[in-house]
Amino acid sequence: MRTLRVLTVATALFVTPALAGDTAKKPSTPAKSQPPSEKKPMSLHDLSANRLDGKAEKLSDFQGKVLVVVNTASECGYTPQYAGLEKLYQDYKDKGVVVLGFPSNDFGGQEPGSSEDIKKFCELRFKVTFPMFEKVKTKGDGQSPVYAFLAKDHDAPKWNFHKYVVGKDGQVKAGFPSKVTPESDELRKAVDAALAQP
């Protein structure tokens, strides 16, 4: 009986280190996760952009608002739409709508100025009060993450003053080409529909 106990203890001592060694050789592999820089944004609110004064702004600051996002230009045939966009903003801002302007030089080189030039032009010529951001690329190499997200499931801008309606949840609800003016029924109906959603 004593011999059996000694054998049992000896066996336990022999087997346990072997098992421990086996475990040490096979560490559990952690699940791979994408680096933060490569993560795809789930909504516009996951992104940020610089205002014309160079200050970064989280687009999550607009969570719960309906957004009309527009690529603007100062020397375009559609530039007078700035006035309509400002009126849209004034008409709807108390209802929870914000117009966001993103200047771009992508089409016809019609936004050649600096941030300071753009700011002066918008304020003096059109009395713009809605948020304006630094110049971005809306397509191709160096495309802004904002426009990569906006154009993911909707047409990318084909010219200046393309408009996207973004819901309170940060998802794109509709897109409109340049010829659809800020005063148009179809744009305002899309804004109203987005406001009606939670």
Instruction: State the Cα–Cα distance between residues 143 and 159, nearest whole angstrom.
Output: 15
Which amino acid is located at 37 in the chain?
A: S
- Residues near 43 by beta carbon (within 8 Å), at least 6 away in sequence: 169, 170, 171
**What is the reported pTM?**
0.80
- Position 17 scores a pLDDT of 45
Class (C level, CATH) for 42-196: alpha beta
112: which 2 tokens? 């050649």
Sorted by where each begins, the domain ranges of the chain are: 42-196
- Position 56 scores a pLDDT of 97
- Taking only Cα atoms into account, the Rg of the chain, rounded to an integer number of angstroms, comes to 28
pLDDT surpasses 70 at 171: yes
Residue 139: pLDDT band with limits 50, 70, 90 = very high
Q: Provide the annotated active-site residues.
A: 76
Q: Which has the closest alpha carbon to 67: 165, 142, 153, 180? A: 165
Instruction: State the Cα–Cα distance between residues 157 and 92, nearest whole angstrom.
Output: 24
